[in-house]
Structure formats: structure tokens, C-alpha cells
Amino acid sequence: MFMASSICRTLVSNIVLHPITRLNPSSFGRIKCQPVRSMSSELSQRIFQLRFNPLTGNSEWVVIEESEEENSPKALLSSTSYLDMLNDSPRNRAFCKAIEKTVIKPCHVLDIGSGTGLLSMMAARAMDSSDAKHYTGSKGILSACESYLPMVKLMRKVLRINNMEKKIRIFHKRSDELKVGHDLASRANILVSEILDSELLGEGLIPTLQQAHDELLMENPQTVPSRATIYGQLVESTFLWKLHDLYNNEAKALDNVHLVPAELERILRVKPQQYAMHCDAIAEEIRLLSDPFKVFEFDFSKRPESHGQTELHIKATSDGRVHAIVSWWVLQLDYEGTIFYSTAPRWINLPFNCEDLQTQSHNWCDHWKQCVWFIPGIGILVSKDEQVDFQAVHNDISISYNLKHGDSKLEQGYPDFHTRGCQLILSPERIAIYGDREWRYDMLRAVMNALQKKVSPLCVVADDSVFLTILLANLSPSSNIISVFPGLQEKGAQYLQAVADANGFSINRVNVLGKRPTCLTTDDTDQKKVDLLIGEPFYYGNEGKLPWENLRFWKERTMLDKVLSKDVLIMPCKGILKGCAMSLPDLWRSRRALEIIEGFDHSVVNTTLGACGDLPVSQGPSLPYFIWQCGEIKELSEAFTIMEFDFSKPISLSFGKTKVFAMDLYFGLIGYSMLTTLLCCQQDQNIDIGNKE
């Protein structure tokens, strides 16, 4: 039995990007790096970046020196969305046109969050144009501000290869660290910046603009972009509902496990926030229940407020149940309103007059997506032409929504009295798995088989699975259970205490260690040996990793070998690394090697950013993606086994090689082919695996 949900689209697979072709075809939210601490001096600069080791659960600080070669931060940058963003041709073209239209004479241009320096180079070129040269007696100034040292080092290479290093001054600082009179000679006339995420505000747009208007910009500055408008739409979607409502989804399960008992509906749920996803991928499972409506509008040339509120009366366009609010934004890049960029889903007709930007609605990119806000519980039932009261509130970095229908107001975001202090927040993907009846039934059968003929067994849950802890306590009243909960720790213990009565077991039977399994000794087990070592595996806070990073369970099983009984049962007993050759042209285009972007050579960044294509390396990086979110997809081979890992034995070196016979390969698809892999965990060898993969 494979540890995979029947809601297969919630699975994360990794994609190995292979540069197997010389084709150069034309044309996921921005992944944020871990927080960094910086140190600087007159002689050198360095940052300390936190890096997580998925096989041990440990974190360590990585030191990045200013003087180090560019190869050092390669692993840090290849997992970000910089490459995807630079491959977004409609974005690049829109910014280029707006900057050329705005920078028409020598002036001071400030670029905040410069990245590779692309926008700064566009501004420098615009100043050097023939029209700008007609303005005599003044000199243009280009100030590029970038706080992330690996990107600063990369930007210097890009500027150098484009002969721009003497035209643009780089500041390795946060914009709120810049001082006029010390760093900048004067306030800037024009701000060019792209510090937007899928929600618009998540990268600190508002506080950045506030500080820039207060301290860095002239009065009434010009900005690129000029303004942004957020839109929303009420939708019905069973798929989206399953990603958050565990209480109602698990009600139909047959395992007698209540992760969300009655009267404790908020004890285990998703975080009330907007979730970035490609809604086009589930367009067939979405019913539109309203017309699009405007939520907020931000004028970048003016100082924004930290807090804002919008209240609207939304008329339902069809009968149905509102499960979610889908939102997107539209950028107006120039002051006159002729250049636009939108993250709208494809079902929205864009009202742009610029013909060459119309095609962008069909441009797949992973750095900007739509956002989804879940309506609590089963949602609200509406009838056609019925009014729904809508409220939106924004702070510095996020937007929240609320609906009022009739006499009921759907509040979310705060634990009720009974769950205060013991509430668990899980990802939508984990909620969907826990609500999947097939997955739960498979787990039930596997655990029942493992407990057969076991009398008062000592069971250790090696990961953060509250589900397996409750299932063990429910199925084996005589068992003693140790739940390690290396990520949940004390919060996991408080959660179990709150749901124990509803699940029919005494909390005294469960000992929560709240530390890594490698720290487990016979002192923790009262000198007893472990009869059952079990895990999903699931490690709280470490989801969305590469498939083989779940081998942390195997490593921890190895470290616990001394406390395991001779006839111990290990669940899962085996890990199977599977692969499939696939055509993913949209994803490939977003990760392809860069050449010339709007006239500027970016080939120097390809290796560092983990680009794919005609590069002198054996293969591209392995990155985790939700396959169903990757745009156009096509399987080119049968699924095949790459490696098998026997968890019943301590960890050892493993090697594997397999030949892939791809189907329906033709020349046009070779340039997009990738290898998709998924680590499946077999729970019980005595159970028919069937066709679940």
C-alpha cells in the first residue's frame, strides 16, 4: 500500500530537469529564502543563511562571503523563482515599455529589489536614448538596491557583461537602510520596483512604499508600476472544499478516528490566509457564482495606508454553494493606463487595449498565480440574484476576506474557547490527505495487520502523525504509545489531550517526547524494546520537499536500532522511488536557459539559477512541484521503479539504474522532456498494492 492520497493532485513530485536538447523554445509563488543575518565591514561583507537538513531535521547557518566565487550560492538560488520570473516574457516586455515611456530625460531612478538589475538596465538604456540626450545640463543617476548578497553578486556579473557596471550604482542594503546624503546624493524622481507576490502585498510592498515616499523619493514621483488593482470572484469547488474542511470530510470515514471532533471544529485546520495556486488547472471543477468585483486599488505614486477595508454587496449569478474566493491582480505599469499585466485566470476577459499584451492570459508562469481564500466549513448556500455581503481587510502584508449571508457571519482566524492553546495548523494538502477516505482506510488495514497477535505492544510514532497516534490508541487499548512529535512538540501533546475523550482513549497511555527520535533511549521506554515503529512519514513544517527527503524516517529508524525488539515491525517497511518521463512544456519554458532579455544578456546567470537546456552540465536541479499545477502535461513513459529502500534494515548505501522507454516521443517534445519522481512508502508487504502510484 502506498502512502499516497487518492486526491493525487495534492502529491508533491520532484522534477529533474535534463538538458538533453539543443532546442531553444521560445516563450511556482516566488519561493522565499530563509531569513538571513548580515554583517558588513569596510573590507568584506557576509551573510548567514539558515539551511535545513531534511534527513536529520537539523538546521545550520551557511556563511556566504562577499569574496566567494559565484558557485557557492548556487543551491540557494536554484530553488527560488528568479529564473521563472526572468523567463516571463510578457512581464519583461510590459516593464520595458513602461520604463521607456516614463524615463524620458536624465533623472534619478531608484530600483528597489533589483535582482539581476534588469529594470535598472532598462532605465539606464532609456536615459541614453536619443530623446533623453536632448536634455542638457543634467546627469542621470541609477541607484539599484538589493539586500540579498547572492543576488548582488549575480547582478554585478550581469551588469559587467552588459557594460552597465559604471552606469548603475549597487547598494547591498535593504531600502529602509538607505540614507539620502549618505548613500544617495538626492531623493529619486522615479521609482522602478517589482516586489510583488501572488497576493500583491506579501513581499512588503506597503511598508517599502511608505518608507520610500517618506525618505527616498521626491514629492509626486513617477513609479513603474503606476498602480495595482485586486479583483475577486465567488466560486463553488468541491476540490477546494476538500483542501480545508477536515471536519465534514472525515465524517464519512470508517476508522472511528476523529481528528476534528464535534464542538472542536477549529482545533485542526488550515491557516486563514490566501493560498497561491494555478486555478486554471482546476477550472473544470470551479463554478463561478458571481461576476468579478474590485477589492482594493493601490496608487504607487502616493504613500499607501497600512490598513484598508472594503465592503461590497455581491450579487450571486447562479445557484450554488460558495466554497472559496478566487482573487488576482492587474498592474497598470504606466501613468496613462496603456500598459498592463494581469495574473487573472484564463476565464477572465482582459479589458486591455494593447494588442501585444492580450496573449499574456495564456502565459503560464509559476512566480505569480491566482490566490484562493477558503470559506469556513461547508461554505454558504446562495441563490441566483441573492446578495452576499463581502468584506475585505488589508494590513501591511496580507489581505483577509469575510462573507455575511443572512443573519450569519463567517468569522475565521481565531480559535474558540475550547481549542485555545491546542490548535494545530496544517497545510491544505495535508488536510486533504487526512480527509481522504481511501487513504485512511488503507492506513487502517495496515495498522490492524501490524497489531495482530501483539499483546500490550510498545509503539513509537516516529514522526508528527497525530492521525497514527490516535489510530493506534483506538485500535489497541492495551498498547503503550510514544509519539515523538519532533516538529509539533508540546502543541501536539496539547492537541491529543483535547481530542482524547472524543476518540475513546486515555491521554495517560500516550507519552509525547517532543524531541527527535535519535534522542530516544531505553530510559524513555521504561527499559522496554519497541515492538512497532511507525510513521506516515510526515514532518510538521517540512512539507513540499523532494521525494527522497522522506528518507529521514529511514535514517531515524537506523539511529533507533538499539531500542528496537528483534521482531519489531517497521511501518512503512519499504520506500520505492518511482519515475516517469513527462512532457511539461510550460514548466520547461519557465526554467529554460536565459539568453537575451529585452536586449540584455543574462546567459551568465543560468548555472547559478539552475537553468535547463543547452548547458555544459549533466543535469539540472531536482525541484519539488505539484504536477497538476504545472500547466500542460503529458506522460511520455510508463511509471518505473528507480530504487527500493528496505526500512526493515538499517540504512545503507544504495545504488540504482534503470532504462526508460518513452512513448510517443517526437522531435517537438524532446526539448521539454523531464523526469518526474515520487517516493512511495509501502506499509505492509502482506497487503495487495494494486495500481496506486
- The answer to whether residue 44 sits within a structural domain is no
Q: Return the C-alpha cell found at 636.
A: 511520455
Q: What angle do CA 407, 408, 412 make, to 5 degrees?
A: 155
Residues 421 and 436 in one domain: no
Confidence of residue 367 (pLDDT cuts 50, 70, 90): very high
- Residues 666, 593: one domain? yes
For residues 645 and 654, the answer to whether their CB atoms sit within 8 Å is yes
Tell me the mean pLDDT in the region 328-332. 97
Cα 636 to Cα 175: distance, rounded to the nearest angstrom: 47
For the chain, give the longest Cα–Cα distance: 92
Please indicate whether residue 203 is annotated as part of the active site: yes
Please say whether the dihedral angle defined by the alpha carbons of residues 203, 206, 209 and 212, taken in this order, is positive or negative.
negative
What's the pLDDT at 26? Answer: 29
Residue 17 domain flag? no
Helix (H, G, I), strand (E, B) or coil at 72: coil
**All cell numbers assigned to 444:** 487502517
Residue 565 resides in a domain: yes
DSSP one-letter code for 156: H
Q: Percentage of the chain with pLDDT > 90?
A: 64
Select the highest-mean-pLDDT range: 50-64, 119-133, 442-456: 442-456
Whole-structure pTM value: 0.87
Q: Output phi, psi for 275, to 5 deg.
A: -115, 125
Q: For residue 12, what pLDDT is reported? A: 47
Confidence of residue 74 (pLDDT cuts 50, 70, 90): low
**Above 70 in pLDDT, residue 65?**
no
Q: What is the pLDDT of residue 45?
A: 59
Structural domain contains residue 39: no
The yes-or-no answer on residue 297 being catalytic is no
Grid coordinates of 145? 538596491
Residues 464 and 451 both lie in one domain: yes
* 343 plus 413 within the same structural domain: yes
Q: What does residue 15 show for φ and ψ, rounded to 5 degrees?
A: -120, 125
Q: Is residue 474 part of a domain?
A: yes
Mean pLDDT value across residues 659-687: 52
Is the same domain home to 242 and 181? no
Average pLDDT over residues 410-430: 73
Residue 637 lies in domain:
576-679
* Residue 657 binned pLDDT confidence (cut-offs 50, 70, 90): low
- State mean pLDDT over 50-79: 63
- Give CA separation, 153 vs 192, 423, 650, in Å: 20, 43, 43
629 and 492 in a single domain? The answer is no
Q: Of 426, 456, 485, which marks where a domain is finished?
A: 426
Q: Choose the most confident range, by mean pLDDT, from 7-11, 44-48, 164-168.
A: 164-168
Which one of 194, 199, 556, 598 is the catalytic residue?
A: 194
Same domain, 111 and 151: yes
- Looking at residue 264, the DSSP 8-state letter turns out to be -
Q: How far is CA 659 from CA 404, 575, 634, in A?
A: 58, 20, 19
**What is the rounded CA–CA span in Å between residue 487 and residue 79?**
23
More confident residue, 105 or 688: 105
User: DSSP 3-state assignment of 340?
Assistant: strand
161 with 238, same domain? no
Question: Which CATH number is 254's domain given?
Answer: 2.70.160.11
**Does residue 98 share a domain with residue 173?**
yes
Distances (CA, A) of 70 to 34, 153, 257, 605: 19, 7, 52, 10
Round the average pLDDT of the chain to a whole number and report it: 84
Structural domain includes residue 222: no
Tell me which of 68, 70, 165, 203 is the catalytic residue.
203
Same domain for 382 and 248, yes or no, is: yes
Rounded to whole angstroms, what are the CA distances from 126 to 122, 129, 140, 282? 6, 5, 10, 42
Whether 339 is covered by a domain: the verdict is yes
Q: What percent of the chain is predicted at pLDDT more than 70?
A: 77
> At which of 548, 571, 594 does a domain end?
571
pLDDT in tens, 498-516: 999 999 999 999 999 877 7
Number of domains forming the structure of the chain: 4
User: Residue 50 — pLDDT band, cuts 50, 70, 90?
Assistant: low
561-582 mean pLDDT = 92
Which residue in 408, 396, 232 sits closest to 311, CA to CA?
A: 232
End residue of a domain, out of 525, 546, 571: 571
User: Are 98 and 123 part of one and the same domain?
Assistant: yes
Q: What is the pLDDT of residue 419?
A: 61
Is pLDDT at 362 greater than 90 in this prediction? no
pLDDT of residue 68: 54
Residue 50 resides in a domain: no
Q: Does 92 score more than 50 pLDDT?
A: yes
Q: Which helix (H) or strand (E) holds 558?
A: helix 552-559
Q: Are residues 287 and 392 in the same domain?
A: yes
The model's confidence at residue 412, banded by pLDDT at 50, 70 and 90, is low
